[in-house]
Amino acid sequence: MHRASTGVALAMLAQEECAKAFVLALVRDSILPWTDDVRRSLAVHECKHLVTMIMEWLLDVNERRFEAIWNGTSPPAPAAHLPPDVATAMNIYRHELIERIGRRDSERCASWRGRARKLADGERDRRKQAALYVRIGHDGSLSSAPSESQQAYDEELVRTKALVRFAKDADRHCIFASREYEMFTELFAGMFRDHGPDGVPVVPAEKYDSGIPGIVFVKRAITCADVVNVEDAEPQDSAAA
């Protein structure tokens, strides 16, 4: 009944499948541990949308480098920092969503905002649902119907084809000899280093008596991607904190 909207929804579903493929490639390459929480994240739409943000950045880096080689120009210098949105996506995936999947206390930092926060809060999944279903108002009347444009479908299809190409490259072990990929994988692996086989932290949290009946203070250390604003960054800053 509305082909463009159906196309948008199917394209977004395909993008999520590409994200699953990349997560599995990271597990295969020992970047991510194969825990029950990581496995279950493959079924969480918000997790997959955050992963596609990382994939798009890495794909863009790689394609700009190939374009420079093809044109005989100097390739862009390796990035000194992860883009803020990518760093935020990694932090939310690891410390908020993975912990929530495992029914543990999740972290939510005020600096983890922007596009990644919107994805984590379900923005794209709501759009996908709206492209598939009608909504009924309190009085039983139609309150909304799929209304995506052909242009929106064309844009999502281009995005999907790029992510499919990325996923295939990951499957063939032929992506990213670049510093950006090394920076991402080293940090992402470090973020999961304390994530035990069954999701239990390798290093237990320290607990302190609060002096309040029924209340215990807990202190634990986590590894996060540093959300650096490029305009404010100094050359010597590291990519992780």
Tell how strand 142-144 and strand 135-136 pair up. antiparallel
Residues 210, 216 contacting (CB under 8 angstroms) = yes
Residue-level pLDDT at 93? 98
- In angstroms, the Cα distances linking 73 to 78, 144, 164, 179, 181 are 15, 50, 28, 19, 21
Note whether 198 and 34 are within 8 A (CB): no
From residue 26, give the alpha-carbon distance in Å to each of 9, 102, 164: 26, 20, 16
- What pLDDT sits at residue 122? 96
Write out the chain's pLDDT in tens, 241 residues. Answer: 789 999 999 999 999 999 999 999 999 999 999 999 999 999 999 999 999 999 999 998 888 887 887 888 887 787 788 999 999 999 999 999 999 999 888 888 899 999 999 999 999 999 999 999 999 999 999 988 999 999 999 999 999 999 999 998 887 766 655 788 889 999 999 999 888 776 566 666 677 777 888 887 877 788 899 998 755 544 444 344 3
